[in-house]
Amino acid sequence: MKLLKVLAVCITVLAMSTLSMAGTLDDVKAKGFIQTGVNGSLFGFGKADDKGVWAGLDVDCARAVSVAVFGSPDKLKFTPLTAKTRFTALQSGEIDMLFRNCTQTLSRDTALGLDFCQVNYYDGQGFLIPKKLGIKSAKELDGATVCVLPGTTTELNVADYFRANGLKMSPVVIENTAELAKAFFAGRCDVLTSDASQLAGTRAVAPNPDDYMILPEIISKEPLAPAVRHGDNQWKDIVNYSVLALIDAE
């Protein structure tokens, strides 16, 4: 029964891909690929290996859209984007869809001219620290230097958390995810804050993963979802139901 349901969803998506409405679908069919915005440096979500092969949850979800449109998972070109440039790249038409561990928020959905699709990962913000600090709780971080990405919900959440708990912090703001991790491992900050999934991925590729730990506090709710341009309902449906088909197949 589950297999039949998945097939029904896939057939629906494929049927939509044959419609002749103007929009992103026509554009991607004309050029023969889908330009996809991804993180580019986040292990487990979107990262290329030494041979240039892309892998991760967001990459796999994007491949599902490629299958729905072209019948092949490989009709994709990836554009690595920072947290600061990801939304403007979508707004400007540089990319056709955004799969970059983005938190769906009311302000982003209404003010940026974007539509978020089905959530593909429910996350929450946490803290990664060196074990040598001897800290067991985020409430012991008073006076810490904190590595954080600019232009993110992470930046706002950590400021709110420290203020609400009467703690002081000194932010170290670096735009690129990989450079932020390097700064943390080099000791430029005491703690790295981000979505817990991103912290786990960062810790996994650390020089000595066992030297680091994620604190138990989760200070926010972060529904991560792909995004498309507002107003292109047909393209949104294709992206949306491609992700839903993967979820149902699980």
What pLDDT score does 19 carry? 41
What pLDDT score does 38 carry? 98
Beta carbons of 192 and 147 less than 8 angstroms apart: yes
Is pLDDT above 90 for 139?
A: yes
What pLDDT score does 21 carry? 41
- Asked which of 10-24, 145-159, 221-235 is least confident by mean pLDDT, the reply is 10-24
Read off the pLDDT of each residue in 38-58 and give the average, rounded to a whole number.
Answer: 94
For 214, the token pair is 């994620």
What pLDDT score does 151 carry? 86
What pLDDT score does 16 carry? 45
Is pLDDT above 70 for 11?
A: no
Is pLDDT above 70 for 131?
A: yes
Q: How confident is the model at residue 22 (pLDDT cuts 50, 70, 90)?
A: low
Q: How confident is the model at residue 40 (pLDDT cuts 50, 70, 90)?
A: very high
Name all domains of the chain by residue range, CATH numbers in brackets: 2-121+223-249 (3.40.190.10), 125-220 (3.40.190.10)
Q: What share of the chain has pLDDT > 90, as a percent?
A: 86
